[in-house]
């Protein structure tokens, strides 16, 4: 049997990529599409991966093809492949890559050879064509749109002289993933990301996987709430632009009660589980979450909901009131 292929992306892109590839090559076997949606998180997606692998022949290995390095599909796949022979991940999945993989994987290629072929095929078909000479010999063109000055100003209201320069405090149970890496980190120009979670700080594997998802030019740490409070007081970090990531509002409340001054909190993603109520397509809360948010609101802290900086901010407490 051939190497198993798992394609996973944000939204339903994975399914559409496979449909397009099969339009060209015909029906394929020993592969799976796993779509990732905004109400899910890394742990939920990893469980979906394991369930799909039960239906595949994995004796020759498993190759995950995902969209973004550091995104949730990548992070969940990192958990699956850890310490397994002939398991790997390639980012930047596209149709030329898929076509080449399905054509060559039955040619008795080794797992490592197939990965090299896939990366080369994906890169080779990224080209630009224009009637002017604007692009000259460049093989690709990247266009970057920055947020407005107002959006950047919104992110920098947590700065305090003598302490850490906290650019953003975000609640997102996916922690370091695509939206954080490609939008928030770049557009707020942070130099350090600090993930604050007592349980993950004690879990070496999860900590390493989370830090691995950070861009090379941004330092990443996973610490307990107590340590985060101590680090906040360290003057050596006063000139650095820093992002704090939390998984739940209760932890942010303890962080503030420890003496940290915060004016605003961005809520970007809280996955739906049994016992939670969904208040929008990315945020689900239980009674404990609501109680913590009420206390944060009573402290005068702005609680705004935005998945990415270009979204129009929503007031979290207004969303909570609607379920009451």
Catalytic residues: 10, 177
The rounded distance, in Å, linking the Cα atoms of 128 and 323 is: 50
Secondary structure class of 198 (helix, strand, coil): helix
Contact 8, 32 (CB under 8 A): no
> Scanning the structure block, which residue is given the tokens 């953003």?
168
Phi, psi of 111 (to 5 degrees): -60, -45
Element (H, E) at 212: helix 204-212
Burial label, 175 (beta-carbon count in 10 A; 0-12, 13-18, 19+):
buried
The H or E element that residue 221 is part of is strand 219-223
What DSSP assignment string belongs to 5-18?
A: EEEEEEBTHHHHHH
Tokens of 195: 């993930």
Going by the DSSP 8-state scheme, the letter that residue 3 receives in this structure is P
DSSP 41-63: -HHHHHHHHHHHHTTS--TT-EE
Tokens of 309: 């900086």
């Amino acid at each position: 049997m051939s190497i198993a292929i798992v394609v996973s992306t944000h939204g339903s892109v994975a399914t559409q990529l496979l449909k397009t590839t099969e339009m060209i090559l015909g029906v394929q076997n020993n592969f799976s599409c796993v779509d990732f949606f905004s109400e899910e998180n890394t742990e939920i997606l990893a469980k979906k991966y394991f369930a799909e692998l039960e239906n595949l022949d994995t004796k020759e290995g498993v190759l995950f093809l995902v969209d973004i390095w550091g995104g949730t599909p990548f992070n969940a796949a990192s958990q699956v492949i850890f310490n397994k022979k002939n398991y790997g991940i390639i980012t930047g999945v596209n149709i030329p890559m898929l076509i080449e993989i399905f054509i060559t994987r039955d040619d008795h290629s080794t797992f490592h050879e197939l990965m090299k072929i896939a990366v080369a095929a994906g890169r080779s078909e990224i080209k630009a064509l224009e009637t002017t000479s604007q692009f000259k010999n460049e093989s690709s063109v990247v266009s970057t749109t920055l947020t407005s000055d107002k959006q950047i100003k919104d992110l920098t209201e947590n700065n305090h002289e003598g302490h850490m320069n906290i650019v953003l405090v975000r609640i997102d149970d996916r922690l370091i993933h695509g939206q954080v890496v490609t939008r928030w980190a770049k557009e707020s120009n942070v130099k350090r990301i600090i993930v604050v979670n007592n349980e993950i700080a004690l879990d070496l594997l999860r900590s390493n996987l989370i830090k691995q998802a950070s861009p090379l030019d941004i330092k990443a740490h996973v610490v307990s709430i107590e340590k985060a409070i101590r680090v906040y007081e360290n003057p050596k970090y006063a000139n650095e632009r820093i992002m704090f990531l939390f998984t739940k509002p209760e932890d942010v409340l303890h962080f503030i009660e420890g003496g940290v001054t915060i004016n605003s909190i961005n809520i970007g993603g809280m996955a739906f589980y049994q016992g939670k109520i969904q208040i929008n397509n990315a945020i689900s809360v239980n009674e404990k979450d609501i109680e913590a948010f009420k206390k944060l609101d009573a402290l005068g802290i702005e609680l705004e909901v935005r998945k990415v900086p270009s979204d129009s901010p929503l007031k979290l407490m207004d969303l909570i009131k609607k379920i009451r």
